[in-house]
Amino acid sequence: MNQANITFLGAGNIATAIISGLIQQGFQAARITAADPSEEQLSALKHLKINTSLHNVDAIAGADVVILSVKPDVVASVAATIAPAIVDDPPLLISVAAGVTTGSLSAWLGGDVPVIRCMPNTPAKVQMGATGMFANPRVSDEQKKLAEEILGAVGICVWLETDDQLDAVTALSGSGPAYFFYIMELIEAAGIQLGLDPQICRRLVEQTALGAATMVVESSADPADLRRQVTSKGGTTEAAIARLQNGGLAAIVGSAINAAHRRSIELSELVD
């Protein structure tokens, strides 16, 4: 990967997270370029010592990989701008724009371009992200491996069989951090109502969430097994879990994720 030239079109949060992760993994800053119309955005990347440009076409010259990290509503115009410059020797194009299908990207870029659509999530900012990826038929095995190394710099990545599965990934892991933040918020508020100091509540909830997630990652048991292991008959945990189950939490969570999935599909249709 260190021999690849990578250009980011758009220098926002996700681009910054991926660039930071790459450099922490030992990737050469001199091989990274970021383009953005905002000088302020680019100046925020100066400490990373990468190349910067205000112009997309200039930035992609010599790029092996172009990462579209702009907002979905401007992807079409950005793609149309760079299409003439890549027609003879197309680079691998990776899009992190939500809701933009590989079919649309290919059409806007001229049709014969290797395209990977992916959906990272915000924990990429701390190199703990989860990214779903789908590649069109033009993407080679070598390019897939390169994409894995790039997105792997900010967390885990998984390959999907179809483009539309990205809508499910959006509902699950793309929006997922907010679900966990909300649960943490509710637990913290309940602790305060029980008389605990807010700062103590925050520390306890943070560490409990981190510890629980770490146990799931490091254990061979699934979450249901781990839950049963800490739910003693007649104990406090059983009382709480019973209330959650009787209150219909499973149906609420399922309905919420289905709502996010439907909205992802709707937004994809709007963008395309």
Determine the pLDDT at residue 272. 67
Determine the pLDDT at residue 1. 62
Q: How far is CA 56 from the centre of its chain?
A: 23
Q: What is the DSSP annotation of 49-71?
A: T-EEES-HHHHTTT-SEEEE-S-
Residues in Cβ contact with 250 at an 8 Å cutoff, skipping those fewer than 6 apart: none
Task: Give the pLDDT means over successive 10-residue stretches in the chain (272 positions).
Answer: 88 93 93 95 93 96 96 93 94 93 93 94 93 97 96 96 95 96 98 98 98 96 96 96 97 97 88 70
Q: What domains are defined for the chain?
A: 6-163 (3.40.50.720), 176-268 (1.10.3730.10)
pTM (two decimals): 0.90
Count of CA atoms in the C-beta half-sphere (13 A) of 116: 29
